[in-house]
A and B are shown apart, each in its own frame.
Chain A
Amino acid sequence: MPILRVVLSRFLTTLITLIGVAIIVFVVVRVVPGNPIAMMLPPGASTADIERLSALYGLDKSIFEQFTIWFGNVLQGDFGTSISTRQPVLDLVLGRLPATLELSLMALIIAVILGMGAAIIGTRYRGRRTETGVDLANGIGLSVPDFLWGLLLIILLGVVWPLFPISGRVSPRLDLPFSTQFYLIESIFRLRFDLTGNLLRHMFMPALALALPLAAIIAQLLKQSLKETVNLDYAVLARTKGYSETRVILSEALPNALLPTLTLIGVQFTFLIGGTVIIERLFSYEGLGNMAVDAVINRDLPLIQGIVILFALIFTAINLLVDMTYAFLNPRLRHA
């Protein structure tokens, strides 16, 4: 029952958080300088044209009036219409969300593989040059931001050794038979591995750029935990039974060292999704982050609101998921 109470409490907190985010983003985008109407004024426009366009886009009302109308519509599932694209905001953000989720998940998988691999190798060869090498790589991974990794990858794997495409999510030449926006997953289900390969090639560099800083964080924390657990009694006992050092680490130390790393991955994953804004821009990847930049540049207020709320929803959902997973894995909470 405590878990159920925790979950209900978190759901309530999430709801309040989302309403708070909605209010803040609605007010902030209207208070910060930069009026979308002023941006669309052509040469020859007059003050009367400003008023006409403001009325057309509903920006002639007070912020409170605008908010009540918008929030009432949101409760009915209508997030408004994008000013720049004239498409429903909900369609736009839901249409781009899968691309960002697939990219983020791919980055997470790469980060976990690289991070865990580095931590295990560093622990296995602790006190040797290999550990120093792992620490050095971690240091570089932590100190270089993701967009710089992106630029380096573009130069190395896009230009000097052109193995991967530099821009886009999929080759424009391909006919896409997809009925959802989850291209990668759908291509696998449809057994269209030619498309899967093409999607992976486009995804590789941006995902790696996003993954490297997170991989370094995972490696650092997990290695620290592993180094503590490999000296605990059960690990020493395993060694006396004749287990190899690698087996001691993998089967005895790792399961116990993973818990704090898991929490960290959950928290860092939200930052990783935030990082997609710059990386998607750099690689012209057609995700939510790329769309967010355009929305901000164009002062597309309804679209900014929709994207921010969706990001907030994702962040709170991830945090909720992490909390629940932690509660499930932690015996003290599970049996409380």
Chain B
Amino acid sequence: MITHPNRRTLLKLAGASAALAGFNLPLSAFAQEANELVIAYNVNLPSWDPTVGPSAVNPTIQGFYQSVFDMFIHQDPDLSFKPGLITEWGWNDDNSKIFMVVRDGVKWHDGSDFSAEDVVWSLERAGKAETGNPIQFTWSKIGNFTIDGNRIEADVLEFDPTIFKWMSFLTGYVLPKAYYEEVGADGFEAKPIGTGPYMVESYERNAFVRLKANPDYWNGAPAFEAVTIKFVTDAASRVAEIESGNSDVTLEIPYEEYDRLTGGEFEGVAEPISDIAMIFLNDVEPMLDKNVRLAAHMAIDKQLLIDRLLSGYGVPISTLQTPEYIAYDSSIEVAYDEEGAKALLAESGFSPENPVRFKIQTTRGFKPKDYEMIQAIVGMWRRVGIEAEIEVYEIAQHFELRAADQLAPAAFYNWGNAVGDPTTSTGFAMFGPSPHSVWDGQDLMDRIIPLWGEADEEARIQGWKDVDRFIAEEGLVIPLIQYVQPIVYRPGLTVTAHASGALLPQLIGQA
């Protein structure tokens, strides 16, 4: 404290004050306005059209889209389906037609009326290859739409039991027909409108998007008048954003930081999401040996990985289904059994002294502790007689190698499945002809093929459970853990996590 200021001290203080004034510093540093929410998001938003291009199939940015656009069918935070812009839907008796009933009283952000024509136009557009919709192969399975008031009917051109689930999944958004046709693709990109809870006010590429509340939202006006979503891709910077008070909410930070922040003045929620860590096994030597595959799975202590590397945040899994998915079967379990793994390897002539050798590929830093997890697994394997060489690759390389069926005998990856259907997890990850699968065994394909067109839902789900049991018994893939998503927020907010992994501003409220 300065009790006897002299001339020099006063001059210094004056200079400092002028400097601070010049920098436009606020008096109470970065206090947030009560009715405004600032989110430090972990990814960038490259493009606004949620139905076209690579952004449309990027699960991490669906939260942006769902703030502005409505999906045909919505999902609750527990992944259960509920009416969105269509309120009823279903099949006719012989599954040759589908019907949809469109919600009444909905308005686009420009004030115009939403109608059944918008739904039909969106579906027809999505089904055209030239629009660049990556899910075009699914949307083109329905056509010949007819509109009768609020009711839409369409012919089923190719039966797909999951078509309505896709309506709340990637590219399942309704866009405004009249507006889009008026402004074109570029105009829509510059000023997108939807029917969602928030409207786009401004958007700075690579920087932020500023949203304002849609007061006429059909599901009730959102809690905040304005929401700013900053694109803060560096995890350390996101921690600093929330700690400094520059942001109110952030996500996907290291679990250690989550514990530190929530142990102090911040609040948090850490819930399992529809994203799993797994190890693909390719049907090449030595993975053609069932004993090696099963031993590799049994030798992994998944709970130890969760406790030691992920600070306890994670759920061990034995199939590609998580407990939230419709085809989850808790009776299918591949338990940690080091001695059992040794015995299996011994049957094939392998031991710690004479180990089986293969390469395992992994990303480094793409998912939390991915490389460290593989290092730990390699250590566990060594104890039972598996000597694995780690090769680090970029995620882009993984996609290319997987599509070309050239992955190493073992390869780490993560798999999301926000709709929780077994076709979009076990189905595409394990069906040989799919570019996502590297296991080409005919016996597995024979089990999967009838399920693609199974119309009886109960039989379909049981069929996938049987496939999962077969995969576990044969050791065709190594499911590791279900990820837990850490979300940290300032006191005074309520945050509901969505199991899809999308942080939705409309699920954030004021306490």
Residues of A within 8 A of B (CB): 33-50, 52-53, 56, 82-87, 92, 95-96, 151, 154-155, 158-159, 162-169, 172-173, 194, 197-198, 200-201, 204, 281-284, 286-287, 290-291, 293-294, 297-299
Task: Give bound CA distance, A164 to B241, whole Å.
Answer: 11
Q: Give every chain A residue within 8 A of B233 (Cβ-Cβ).
A: 281, 284, 293
Please tell me if B435 contacts chain A, counting CB pairs below 8 Å: yes
Cross-chain contact of A84 among B53, B230, B237, B393 (Cβ < 8 A): B53
Among listed B133-141, B291-299, B460-468, B492-500, interface-contacting one:
B133-141
Closest to A290 in B: B206
Bitwise interface map of B from 217 to 232 toward A, beta carbon under 8 Å scored 1, else 0? 0000000000010111
CB–CB B54/A36 < 8 A: yes
10 smallest beta-carbon distances between A and B, as pairs: A34-B396, A197-B24, A38-B399, A40-B54, A286-B207, A33-B397, A286-B206, A43-B428, A42-B57, A35-B400
CB–CB A168/B207 < 8 A: yes
Closest to B419 in A: A43
Task: Give bound CA distance, A92 to B189, whole Å.
Answer: 14
CB–CB A201/B435 < 8 A: no
Min CB gap A146→B, angstroms: 14
Cross-chain contact of A159 among B134, B244, B395, B402 (Cβ < 8 A): B244
Given contacts A166-B237, A198-B24, contact A83 B29 (CB under 8 A): no
Min CB gap B353→A, angstroms: 36
Task: Give bound CA distance, A92 to B148, whole Å.
Answer: 44
Cross-chain contact of B393 among A33, A82, A194, A286 (Cβ < 8 A): A33
Cross-chain contact of B46 among A53, A173, A204, A294 (Cβ < 8 A): A294
Please tell me if B234 contacts chain A, counting CB pairs below 8 Å: yes
Q: Give every chain A residue within 8 A of B57 (Cβ-Cβ).
A: 40-42
Q: Give every chain A residue within 8 A of B428 (Cβ-Cβ).
A: 43-44
Please tell me if B63 contacts chain A, counting CB pairs below 8 Å: no
How many of chain B's residues touch chain A, expressed as a range? 35 or more
Q: Give every chain A residue within 8 A of B52 (Cβ-Cβ).
A: 86
Min CB gap B412→A, angstroms: 16
Min CB gap A275→B, angstroms: 15
Q: Give every chain A residue within 8 A of B22 (Cβ-Cβ).
A: 197
Bitwise interface map of B from 26 to 45 toward A, beta carbon under 8 Å scored 1, else 0? 00011000000000100010
CB–CB A167/B138 < 8 A: no
Q: Give every chain A residue within 8 A of B434 (Cβ-Cβ).
A: 44-46
Closest to A298 in B: B54
CB–CB B244/A166 < 8 A: yes
Task: Give bound CA distance, A308 to B428, whole Å.
Answer: 37
Cross-chain contact of B240 among A35, A158, A168 (Cβ < 8 A): A158
Min CB gap A127→B, angstroms: 28
CB–CB A38/B241 < 8 A: no
Closest to B36 in A: A173
Task: Give bound CA distance, A173 to B36, whole Å.
Answer: 10
Task: Give bound CA distance, A86 to B133, whole Å.
Answer: 13
Q: Pull 22 A–B residue pairs with CB atoms less than 8 Å apart, ordered by A.
A: A33-B394, A34-B397, A39-B395, A41-B57, A41-B436, A42-B170, A44-B135, A49-B134, A53-B134, A86-B52, A86-B185, A151-B236, A154-B236, A158-B246, A166-B241, A172-B202, A172-B204, A172-B228, A200-B23, A201-B24, A282-B237, A284-B232
Which positions 42-91 of chain B face chain A at CB distance < 8 Å?
44, 46-47, 49, 52-55, 57
CB–CB A43/B424 < 8 A: yes
Most buried by B among A42, A194, A291: A42
Task: Give bound CA distance, A92 to B25, whole Å.
Answer: 32
Closest to B228 in A: A172
Min CB gap A222→B, angstroms: 26
Cross-chain contact of A291 among B129, B206, B401 (Cβ < 8 A): B206
Q: Give every chain A residue within 8 A of B240 (Cβ-Cβ).
A: 154-155, 158-159, 166
Please tell me if B117 contacts chain A, counting CB pairs below 8 Å: no
Min CB gap A247→B, angstroms: 24
Task: Give bound CA distance, A166 to B44, whole Å.
Answer: 16
Q: Give every chain B residue within 8 A of A173 (Cβ-Cβ).
A: 210, 228
Q: Give every chain A residue within 8 A of B244 (Cβ-Cβ).
A: 158-159, 162, 166
Q: Give every chain A residue within 8 A of B245 (Cβ-Cβ).
A: 162
Q: Give every chain A residue within 8 A of B23 (Cβ-Cβ).
A: 163-164, 197, 200-201, 204
Closest to B402 in A: A38
Min CB gap B482→A, angstroms: 18
Please tell me if B470 contacts chain A, counting CB pairs below 8 Å: no
Task: Give bound CA distance, A154 to B135, whole Å.
Answer: 42
Please tell me if B180 contacts chain A, counting CB pairs below 8 Å: no
Closest to B171 in A: A42
Task: Give bound CA distance, A281 to B236, whole Å.
Answer: 11
Task: Give bound CA distance, A293 to B231, whole Å.
Answer: 13
Please tell me if B379 contacts chain A, counting CB pairs below 8 Å: no
Q: Give every chain A residue within 8 A of B30 (Cβ-Cβ).
A: 162, 165
Min CB gap A302→B, angstroms: 13
Bitwise interface map of B from 170 to 197 toward A, beta carbon under 8 Å scored 1, else 0? 1000000000000001000100000000
Task: Give bound CA distance, A200 to B129, whole Å.
Answer: 47
CB–CB A86/B189 < 8 A: yes
Min CB gap B155→A, angstroms: 20
> Knowing that A34-B397, A49-B134, A282-B236 are A-B contacts, what are 4 other residue pairs whose CB atoms are under 8 Å apart, sorted by A's residue number?
A44-B424, A154-B237, A172-B207, A201-B25
Closest to B53 in A: A86
Q: Give every chain B residue within 8 A of A283 (Cβ-Cβ).
A: 237
Please tell me if B433 contacts chain A, counting CB pairs below 8 Å: yes
Cross-chain contact of B435 among A50, A56, A95, A162 (Cβ < 8 A): A50
Please tell me if B308 contacts chain A, counting CB pairs below 8 Å: no
Most buried by B among A40, A50, A194: A40
CB–CB A84/B40 < 8 A: no
CB–CB A284/B204 < 8 A: no
Closest to B366 in A: A297
Closest to B393 in A: A33
Min CB gap A280→B, angstroms: 9
Cross-chain contact of B232 among A34, A44, A167, A293 (Cβ < 8 A): A167
Which positions 429-454 of chain B face chain A at CB distance < 8 Å?
433-436
CB–CB A86/B49 < 8 A: yes
